[in-house]
Amino acid sequence: MTNETIEIVVSAASAWKIATKVRFGKLPEGKALEQRFVEALDEIG
């Protein structure tokens, strides 16, 4: 494997969809993902 930089781009709609599914109980394991999403955005500024 080579050491490549990977750029991941997500929209605000992605966060909204995850949060909505967690709220309605359709993605219970998504709670950690939802929290990590905010942390990841803070890290990249």
Q: Please tell me the predicted confidence (pLDDT) of residue 28.
A: 80
Mind giving me the DSSP string for 1-39? -----------HHHHHHHHHHHHTTS-TTHHHHHHHHHH
Q: Is residue 37 part of a domain?
A: yes
Q: Which domain holds residue 39?
A: 13-44
Q: Is residue 1 part of a domain?
A: no
Helix axes 30-44, 12-23, angle to 10 degrees: 150
Q: Is residue 20 part of a domain?
A: yes
Q: Is residue 4 part of a domain?
A: no
Q: Is residue 18 part of a domain?
A: yes
Q: Please tell me the predicted confidence (pLDDT) of residue 45.
A: 65
Q: Please tell me the predicted confidence (pLDDT) of residue 5.
A: 83
Q: Is residue 7 part of a domain?
A: no
Q: Is residue 29 part of a domain?
A: yes
Q: Please tell me the predicted confidence (pLDDT) of residue 11.
A: 85
Number of domains forming the structure of the chain: 1
pTM above 0.85, yes or no: no
pLDDT in tens, the chain (45 residues): 566 787 777 788 987 888 888 889 998 887 787 778 778 778 776
